[in-house]
Each structure stands twice: as structure tokens, then as C-alpha cells.
Amino acid sequence: MPISLPNDPDLENFRRQARKLQRAARSGDPAALDLLAQHHPDPVEPSWLPLRAAQLVVARAYGFSSWPRLRRYLDDASELRRDPTGDQPAASPADEFCRLACLVYSEKDGPERWSQARALLADHPGMMSESIAAAAAAADPDAIAAHLAGDPGTAGRLTGPHRWAPLLYLTYSRAQTGDEAGDRFLRSATLLLQAGGDPNAGYLWLGLPSPFTALTGVFGEGEQGPGKQPRHPQSIPLARLLLTAGAEPNDGQALYNRMFRPDDSHLELLYEFGLGRGDGGPWKRRLGAAAETIEQMMARQLQWAIDHGYDRRVRLLIEHGVDVARPLADGRTPVEHAITAGRPDLLADLKAAGATVRTVKANEELAGLLLAGDRAAIDAFTRAHPDAVPALLSTRPALVHQAQTPAAIRALVAAGFAVNARHGGSTALHEAAFNGDVTLITALLAAGADPSLLDDGHGSTALGWAQYANQPAAIAALS
């Protein structure tokens, strides 16, 4: 199973979890007994469960095969861990500029910080000669050349406020824009690489086992959306430069960050350089079992693409040999996902590629028909299964959150699903606003979605979510 750890994983915290599990199992706690049954390879007597057995269960629950392997990962991660999200006072204007200019992958990212970085650079132009990190973040090839002339080894040395290689400040910087800046970024990156900068430079964000590499920074995006975590303005030319220099194309974090939008330009480039093949590169060799396998990262891409209607991506993945026969992370096959996500148009492609075909339950088939928006098929199915809609309403009342098209929204509302149903404390309109999906916003409003509703977590309207995510088209649609 894939490794799944909390932020800032700590050995003492895992020891406490093991001791707590030991006590709970000895007292007969049902949840603890279930955990033992799932993750211990042998039958054990809970009433005298030894600590080493509880430690094994904890390690396996997080995806490690043993407690020593978990410990070994934590030892390795302590050296590679970085926390660029903190608010520690900067030691100099150059450090503050680097902090403001670069994506840190938290809610702090966004245009306001990059504007502050540009203002700071204008006030302290001399910082470029003081810090190669600042020179890289500002894409100043002349300043970088001067630093390298004085000390060529600085191209690969950890520096600046985040203890990153200079190449990372360049690839995560979002402070500079425009064609002129694009040329400077390419010249600056070339200088660093020619001086020995590592194209696979990276770090473990808060100690998690998916490295944030130079390529991750170039491709950008992520859970906060492209308004707050955009791709680098020179993403494709810079990515090509890194890949030509030896960057590993099987970059799980880069793939994850870019999977939330339908654009496939990153995949096309990565496939050109060997995505889906090889041994996973230097980070996989360093992290071993803690790092995601190539098969796992490609299966995740396939599942997301099927579930979210990215048909072109599914076909691109199939074309390049993704395994469609093996069950995905949730145990369901790609065909089952296609049926239940309302993607009947993908079934022929999946079957032709060798996908395993299984029958699905009636409620899953109905969910798929509703999400496909196929009114004729829905009517035929409900006539044959008159109890299907009430049963689905009781088990999946917030199904509207999975709708990807106006037709799906209309079909769900006609079947009795609430357009304002909450999932995770928010409505489907909140989510469409955050994603900047004006087509869905329009369809939801037409179906009766209430734009005045506040989400449970932040007390914000859908408009507030669009503003937070820096989605101007969604803001206009909701204003």
C-alpha cells in the first residue's frame, strides 16, 4: 500500500501510538482489535499483546513493512525535511525576498506575496550580489554568473532561508513574469546546471515521502489551485531543460499537483523523457519503500482522470501502457470507476486495453447513469428498479458533488438530489467556485444552488471561495 504519513512525522509520536494501541488491544477495544486483524501478519493474543507487535501494526498501518523500516525512513527524512511555510523572521532582505517570491505550498501562496517580493527587490537591488538564492529567485543571470565565478561549488550548495539548492529558488519563484523574465530564467537555470547544479534537487516538505523537486516547482499548481499556485511562466521550456539535464520524469509530486486540471502538456513532455519507465530515479533509490512506485503514481493518475471526466488523459495514459487490468487503490477496477463515474464512453477504450470487467451493484450503476446525465437510460433503469433512487438518496445524498457536467446536475436534481447538499462542510457551488469552473457554476445556479450559503469550516460564501482561490472568471459569475 502507498505510504501515508502525517505532516512532520516523529518517531516519539509513533511510539506513543504503539503504546496506546497496545493498551487498547489488551482492554478489548473493538477498533484496536480490527487494526490488529488488518495489519498484523499472524494471529496474536490481544490480552498480552507485546509492544513490538503493536509497533509492527502501527508501521504497517502507515504503509511500511516493518517498524525498523519506518525508523529508517524517519532517520533519512530528518536530513531532507524542510518547512518553507513558517513565519520565522528573515535574516536579511535577500532571505525575505526568497521567502516571498517562492511557492511554499501552503495557504500563504498567492499574488500578494509575489507583489511584496517585487517591491522588496526594487528597494534592495543590491541583494543579488549578496545571495545566490536571491539571484536565482529573481532570475538574474549576471549576478548568478558572478557568484559562480567566485565559487563554482555554490551551484549545488544548500543556501537561503529554506536551505534549498539555488535551482529550487529559481524553479519555485513566481515573482517575475513576462517574456524578458522568461529568457532570464532559462539563462539562469543553464548557468546553474552547467556549474554542477543537480537537476533532481529537492526536499521533503514537512518530512513527507514525496519529494518536492526542481521539476515539481516548474510544473507548479496543486491543491490550492492555479490562481494561488500557478505553474512557472516558463514551465515547459524550463522542464525540458531540466529533463535534458537528467531530471527524473517519474516525479510523483509534480504529477499529483498537475492532475487537478485537464491540461496534459506536462504529461506529454514527461512521456517524451521516459515517464512510466525505469527504476524511479535517485529519490526512489534513496527513499526505498517509502517512495511511491511508478505503478502507484500512474494508477492514481488514471483513477483521477476517469473520475473527473478527463477522457483525453485516460486515452493518453492507455496509449503509453498504463495498467488498466489491475484494481486501483480503492480496490475497484478502472472499468468500475468508469461505470460509477458516468463515463460509459471510456469503457470501449479500457476494455480494448485489457481492462478487467466486473459487474457493479445496482446503486453504483444508477449513480453512473445520473452522473452521465443520460435521461433515457435513467428512466429505463428506474422503471426496472423502482427502489433504486430512494436507496441511492439515502446512501449518497451529496452525489451532486461528483457532477462534472450541466447534464449531470440537471439529472440529479430531477431525481431528487439536493443541489445544496453538503460534503465536507461545503456545497458543490463552493467547490466549483474554488476550481473556477464557470460552466458548473452557471448550471448549479440555474438548478437552484444558493450562493448565500456559508461553508461550515470558514463561514464563507462560494464567492469568498472564488476570491480566496484567485479565480477571476468565477468571481465575475458569482458577483
What range does the domain containing 120 cover?
Answer: 93-248
In a shared domain, residues 226 and 101: yes
Stretch among 186-195, 322-331, 444-453 having the lowest mean pLDDT:
322-331
Alpha helices in 65-137 (DSSP H): 67-80, 93-101, 111-123, 127-130, 132-137
pLDDT grade, residue 178 (50/70/90)? low
* 187 and 134 belong to one structural domain: yes
Domain membership of residue 176 (yes or no) is yes
Domain annotation covers residue 6:
no
φ/ψ of residue 230, rounded to 5? -70, 160
Q: How confident is the model at residue 21 (pLDDT cuts 50, 70, 90)?
A: very high
* Residue 443 forms part of a structural domain: yes
Residues 177 and 218 in one domain: yes
Question: Does residue 378 surpass a pLDDT of 90?
Answer: yes
Give the mean pLDDT of 133-153.
96
Among 54, 81, 108, identify where a domain stops. Answer: 81
Q: 447 lies in a domain?
A: yes
In whole numbers, what is the pLDDT of the chain averaged over residues?
94
As a whole number, mean pLDDT of residues 3-28 equals 90
Per-residue pLDDT, 87: 78
Shared domain for 25 and 153, answered yes or no, is no
Using the 3D structure, point to which of 208, 228, 248 is the last residue of a domain.
248
Let me know whether 105 and 237 are in one domain. yes
Both 103 and 244 in one domain: the answer is: yes
In the chain, the number of structural domains is 3
Record the pTM.
Answer: 0.89
Identify whether 2 is part of a domain.
no
292 assigned to some structural domain: no
Measured CA distances, 170 to 42, 101, 105, 192, 392 (Å)? 51, 9, 15, 10, 50
Least Cα distance to 322 among 302, 345, 352, 347 occurs for 302
Domain identity same for 114 and 196: yes
Is position 457 within any domain?
A: yes
Q: What is the pLDDT of residue 1?
A: 54
Same domain, 77 and 107: no
Whether residue 247 is predicted with pLDDT greater than 80 in this model: the reply is yes
Does residue 99 share a domain with residue 42? no
- Regarding whether 104 and 188 lie in a shared domain, the answer is yes
Tell me: pLDDT of 180 over 80: no
What CATH number is attached to the domain comprising 216?
1.25.40
pLDDT in tens, 406-461: 999 999 999 999 999 999 999 999 999 999 999 999 999 999 999 999 999 999 99
100 and 237 co-located in one domain = yes
Q: What is the pLDDT of residues 255-304, one digit of tens each?
A: 999 999 999 999 999 999 999 999 999 999 999 888 999 999 999 999 99
Please, which pLDDT band fits residue 2 given cuts at 50, 70 and 90? low
Residue 372's CATH number: 1.25.40.20
333-to-60, 255, 315 alpha-carbon distances in Å:
24, 21, 16
Closest CA to 135 of 106, 111, 159, 113: 159
Does 341 map to a domain?
no
Which of 81, 107, 124 corresponds to the end of one domain? 81
378 and 454 co-located in one domain? yes
Residue 289: per-residue pLDDT: 84
Whether the per-residue pLDDT at 34 is higher than 60: the answer is yes
